[in-house]
Structure 1
Amino acid sequence: MWRIAIVDDERHVLQGMKRVIPWDELQAEWAWEALNGADGLEMTRLSQPDVIITDIYMPEMNGLDMIERIRQEGYNGKIIILSGYSDFEHARQALRYQVSDYVSKPISVPTLKAILTKVINELSEEEESRLRRLELEQTMVQYKPFIEKEWVRSAAIGTLERNRDGAAYLPEPYTYWTDCSHVTLGIDLVRKDWARTLSVSDWNLFRFAIGNIACEVARQGFPNMEYTELHSTRALLVLHPPSGAGQQEGMTQSLRGLGIQLIDSIKSCLKLEVRIGIGRFKEAWTDIPYSTDEAFQAIELKQERLSPGYELYRYPAEIRTEQPDAAPLLPAKFLYKLAGAVKASQELEAVQLISEYITELKASKDLITKDYVQLLGSELWGIVTYSLYESGLAVEELFSGDQIAKELMSLSEPDQLTEWLSGKIGAIIHDRQWKGSSKHRQIVDFMTRYIHEHYAEDVTLADLSDMVYISRNHLSIIFKNITGETFNTYLTRVRIEKARELLLERKMLVYEVAERVGYKNIPYFSTLFKKITGQNPTELIK
């Protein structure tokens, strides 16, 4: 109900207004009345109505002075002046105080009704706008972690939008980057055939676990750091040691130790093998993408191994002459964009990226042998298939491994590779298994990332339903169709996986771990833990 107050020194006017205003029709109610501006000011301070109708000439304080004071004190409601005097100067002042209407007495009932209807409609529109803005602000708060993570990823691979002056924007949480050095560690999961047998949810769970381990290990020596997933089997640690750290002798040893610890921890906890590459130090944060490319090129080049028995490499100070048939060094920015285009079913974008990359390759490389073309084709096909696999599509159901191998062996020219790969991507995107479901896959990708960020909170399917504007029942079906399991089952497995990692560190008691991952009921947590892992939580901390 909208609340209307009247300030007038004539009692018969107050009584008459009460009687003629169509309260029910306007969905309004009487707020209060006052006989002069001073009382009106005091009443407004005590109880702010939505609309104030006021006279001008009144004892103690006139209407315009009252309006000036309540505006100065922050009153934002609507004001209607109803006066027996028509004065240009008064009208000018009224405009300055944002008065909605200035009407001369006497006023007819239809005119009063029309003015109040107009003012209340304005109030309704403003309220709707305020609620939409509030909803948007709440949505932005919910999405802020994802926006920040996307920004970090863009900063790391070089896809940031630039301002008109060519400068890149640095958000508030990352302004400290201007005072640091920067170095990246590329993490590349060694591809194994058994990985293709995993469900989408299992694959997401492995990536979640790798991210947890990488962050836990890295923060011990580098508190200022970010972790971001790139595509398929690749992820990145961006470290920010003190400025000039690249010149310090001990920093290389620290990075070497971090790399070894990452490889050992991931192998011990997850039975997975990773390769680590270390890029060069950069003083400007806008040069981080160069360090990213260097980190992954270090893995491919394998020219400077930092520790025997470990797939741990540093980008060499001088690159030895590249062999004509050496493995291609693919830019992280190109690979990320290609993987994203394929997952989003953006055929034209994917084909254009491949065409532009091959064109640049031909312009920069004097000799492109048949073996190089086939190696490049194999690498790009691997990126495409793993990107699709992340979304739940097994490419083997469309093309057999033998067929792909045979077709790759027939390629000898870069343009042939462009045509072959473009054709394959088109066939996949237009296949019935894939067509029409890319939006669902993007929604499920958002849901899994949200779970990974908020597993310790009271996360419900209803919350996510509100975020993506899809009914809860339909969203539940979409999630299960893509991942093969229910939303609650996946949430539980994420929590238990995080609990297992915390228990293995042996730094916390069982009840502390349970609370850390979102469980207040310790017996229930223990039951779930044993059901999923086959062990009691107490067994892991002995």
Structure 2
Amino acid sequence: MTIRVLLADDEPLILKGLRKLLPWEELGVEIVGQACDGDELDEQIRLLRPDVLISDISMPRKSGIDVLRGINEQGLPVKVVFISAYQEFSYAKEAISLGAVEYLIKPIEREQLRAALDKAMSLIREEGEENRRKDKLRRMETRQRTEEKREALSRLASGTLPAGADLYARLEAELRAPFYTVLALELGQLEDASGRWTETERNLVNFAVDNVLGELLAEPGSGAEGGLGTFFAKQERIVVIVPHSEAGRPYELAQDIKAKINDYLKLNVSIGIGLAVRSLGRLAESAQQAEQALDMKYFEGLNKLLPYAAQASAAVAESELYTLRSDVVQSLAERNGKRAQEALHKLLAAVRRTTEGNKGLAVATAFSSVLSIVQELQKSGVALSEEGFDLQGLQTRLGQYETFDSMAQGIGELLGELAEVIGNRTGNRDKMLLARIKQHIERHYADELTLESVAAVAFMNPYYFSAFFKKHTNENFKAYVTEVRMRHATQLLSNTDLLMYEVAEKVGYANARHFSDVFKKTCGMLPNEYRQSLRS
């Protein structure tokens, strides 16, 4: 850190001598300016903001003592060293009482000035360290208060904070308003992501969302008295408490939150909106409603505002589900694919009506329906087990769909495959399935492709899938994926100027060294050698 020094004396020769007296630059000091009278010195202090002032105590228009008083009144962190031709004790006493670091008598000796400068610099370092320590303590205290507040809010929203508790009283005073409404937020995944966030990505997203919510909830009219709402994290969701006086304010705030997260972070966000309550003691009701409303994203779709509405699932008799499943089985048995899809659509519509608002029940009911259809087909002589059909893997896969509609689409695709199995036993179904597997590999070669993940796409168990793939391609799964990745790597090396680690990442290798080794083993030369051979 360079120390900025300002010199002041009404004698030019003194100023010139001071500049030559010490090796300022070697000491880590920059002389930023000089002044010849008190008024000019005030102006230079204002403009240059020095760390240290070395000044004559007696100057025209305004004395050094007056300048020092002004420094103190403004609270400026300037260390002052006075030089003077006067030896009167009163001058020195007043200077020291006002905070001067040192009082030197002319003529100034090199060692005296060096010692005074060292003393000033030492004080600056000590104060800097003290300020940093205080700042750190303030940040820690702020973070602790924030964490304590969010913990109290979490208890308040869950109904476990007693109304007589001190924390309850403090929150009530801070969030005082006629009404309170809770919003529950859940973020979608990054666009074009594989469905998983790294810890770094999640931390960055959480930080950005905190900033967005902090800014919105600090705007006038966004919540409590003074324009302050508040929020806290709850597992994978964020809960926002909105104190308000206008009935429509929570919905407007939800719109603003969604717009900023969509536009600035390029993320989808679904927001459940509870009903307003008149006291903090009933906040848990609004929080529960917001959570229930957010759960409806599975049925209503992602990236939407979801106001709470009491759900009354339409009861569908098991006999009706049985009849609809039987229609699907009969259509498949008759090899009528179109009619089978229509029957499936009616079956899934009935599943949705009877499970609306409960994702777990929807998945379980859909799976049991598929299982029933498969069992009926097996009774009809369709050897699905020979096709590697993995029902246990199917249940897990159905639970991974983000919405009911996407799950229904997946089941529809499965039904199409079942129709192929029944309608064509000459091997065409295998060719169609293999083509779909290869297409999946082509689309996702840059992701983490495992035997298990691709087997799940084919609805096969991993052991059967490995044998199936080897039988129909004459090479094992890992070798085929490597071949696809190396083909794309050679294209990137030929047509782009990407660095090696960038090429590696784009073809599915997190480690550039490993990529180079695999490339050499496959292509007979290192990636850089391959690129050079093309350009030579």
Would the TM-score normalized by the shorter structure come out above 0.5? no
What's the TM-score once normalised by structure 2's chain length? 0.35
